[in-house]
Amino acid sequence: GQNIDQPTEMTATEGAIVQINCTYQTSGFNGLFWYQQHAGEAPTFLSYNVLDGLEEKGRFSSFLSRSKGYSYLLLKELQMKDSASYLCAVRDNYGQNFVFGPGTRLSVLP
């Protein structure tokens, strides 16, 4: 079966650092993706991991441990505009199907 877990909600302060965790159990693995989604809008791509380790892209970093079925998204120097839902997704072994977690709603407070 396919199961992806994320915390439902998180709150952080402007300028701080926040880590959003994702654990997955899927029938296959061909990469893990993080997306950002503002309310009422479509998700937009943030990061991609297929090998273990950390991928850094500006204020955003994403980490993957395939043996643990675990990833996290790290957001630094939080800004008010970072208030959004963050979706973790796994691409299956055949590369055709993307399975999404429930999403984590992040609120950045002044």
Partner 1 sequence: SQTIHQWPATLVQPVGSPLSLECTVEGTSNPNLYWYRQAAGRGLQLLFYSVGIGQISSEVPQNLSASRPQDRQFILSSKKLLLSDSGFYLCAWSGTGGSEKLFFGSGTQLSVL
Task: Give the binding site for partner 1 (CB under 8 A).
Answer: 30-31, 33, 35, 40-45, 48, 50, 87, 89, 91, 95-103, 105
31: left (phi over 0), alpha (psi -120 to 50) or beta: left
Could you tell me the two tokens for 50? Answer: 């297929």
Nearer to partner 1, 63 or 86 (CB): 86
> Shortest Cβ distance from residue 49 to partner 1 (Å)?
10
> Shortest Cβ distance from residue 15 to partner 1 (Å)?
27
Nearer to partner 1, 48 or 70 (CB): 48
Neighbouring C-beta atoms of residue 38, cutoff 10 Å: 13
How wide is the angle at C-alpha 106 spanned by C-alphas 100 and 109, nearest 5°? 170
> Shortest Cβ distance from residue 35 to partner 1 (Å)?
8
Name the DSSP letter for residue 33.
E
Nearer to partner 1, 70 or 100 (CB): 100
Strand partners, 85: 37, 105
> Shortest Cβ distance from residue 48 to partner 1 (Å)?
6
Nearer to partner 1, 12 or 32 (CB): 32
Could you tell me the two tokens for 40? Answer: 């009422």
What is the Cα–Cα distance from 49 to 62, expressed in whole angstroms? 7
